[in-house]
Amino acid sequence: MTLDISTLLVVTVYVEAMLGLLLLFAWAQNTTIHGVAWWGFGHLLRAASVSLFGMYGSAPDLMSIDLANALLFTSFAATWTGARLFDGRPAEPVYLVAGAVLWLLICRLPSLSDSVELRVLFTSGIVTAYTWLTAFEFWRGRGEPLVSRWPAIFLLFAHGALYLLRTPLIKILPWPREEGVAGSVWLTVLSFEALLLTISIAFVLLAMAKERIGLHHKTAAMIDPLTGLANRRSFFEEAALAGREGSALKPVTVLAMDLDHFKSINDRFGHALGDRVLGMFADVLRQCVRTSDLTGRLGGEEFVALLYDISPQRAVAVAERIRAAFAEVALDIDDHPVSATVSIGVVHSRGGTVDLAELVEQADAALYLAKEAGRNRVEVAALEAFVMPRESRARDAGHARMATASAPPTA
């Protein structure tokens, strides 16, 4: 099998150009993911670079070698920049052109200009550096649950390794000496493998961008946009999932929380400040509970938290900490005497099969008593109330025994 250099160059130009246009078209469908546009431009730059390489012998070396390599390095730098932007890191304009500038300067040195092998190794090193930097950027963002991130990392690492090892492999592997390197079956394999890797990487990057969009849509449907907490649907779904995974076998506590006189805050200070109050409470709630606990906004000024594997005393302490911390931070907002407070109802289950709806109902009953007792307080539903049948609780909710752990009631 012989290598037709001209055919390979033409195929590479068409493939790179088509991949670039495909990625740009995908970016045009959703311009919020800027990394896709950079990846598209990277492929177009590589198409231009390969076109200039194809002009070797019929065009000056300044164009067919120097400019072609500069465009090649910039194309891989653009791919790396796209990876940085994809994961929310800023572009680095200096490093974007560093490879091209370094090439144009160093290739003028006599030690490189007189040795084709050294120049090839140098160019391969630059390409490998940018490719591995791209793989590293994706690895840094591995906390995001994108399945396609991992094949992208693997393919980019393999692509960089192939560039770096191409020259040593060609020197080591045999080829027909009468035909030279161009007749080597190994060069054919390596060249087409590089082209296939390029195609694979482009489609994996496109899949990763689509996966990101799908994840954002799913998150938007499950997260309250104002507070960043789980919405009602998400809270109950996550709680049900945790129950199926065995968390419900441990002691759990539900905190039902409602901001006091929130309507009057909106009426007095405006809805913009009211939204800030909601956001501030969400921040306090996140700071006071553990990352393993579930929190959510059920609607309006109503919030809920599900605390796992916690004693009743510690759960009440957490509720008190939430109440006191919120009263402190919401006392004065932008020189407005808001003095926002929260009432909290607490119910505890020792474990076993838990009906979350019943727990929330019990916590709501305790919250109602906290409101009746003067607000800005924590009320704890008696354990006997939890084990009562639903009908009895509904009939006797107003008379259920409550234990109070709170600050003095305020008007």
Domains annotated for the chain, with CATH where assigned, are 5-221 (1.20.1070), 232-404 (3.30.70.270)
Helix (H) or strand (E) holding 214: helix 185-222
Tens of pLDDT, residues 253-277:
999 999 999 999 999 999 999 999 9
Tens of pLDDT, residues 352-397:
556 788 889 999 999 999 999 999 999 998 654 443 434 434 434 4
Residues above pLDDT 90, as percent of the chain: 52
Q: What are phi and psi of 376, to 5 degrees?
A: 55, 50
Alpha-carbon dihedral sign for residues 284, 289, 295, 299: negative
Rounded Cα distance, 342 and 67, in Å: 66
The residue among 297, 308, 293 whose CA lies nearest residue 342 is 297
Q: Which two tokens stand for residue 43?
A: 């492929």
Annotated catalytic sites, by residue? 301
Rounded Cα distance, 306 and 253, in Å: 6
Rounded Cα distance, 335 and 333, in Å: 5
Q: How many CA atoms lie within 13 A of 352 on its CB side?
A: 6
pLDDT at 409 exceeding the cut of 50: no
Number of Cβ within 10 Å of residue 12's Cβ equals 22
How far is C-alpha 297 from the geometric centre of its chain's CA atoms? 22
Higher-confidence residue of 10 and 181: namely 10
Residue 4: per-residue pLDDT: 67
Higher-confidence residue of 354 and 301: namely 301
Tens of pLDDT, residues 45-91:
999 999 998 888 888 888 888 899 999 999 999 999 999 999 999 99
Residue 127: per-residue pLDDT: 92
Residue 30: per-residue pLDDT: 86
| Residue indicated by tokens 């727990």 | 359
Rounded Cα distance, 285 and 181, in Å: 68
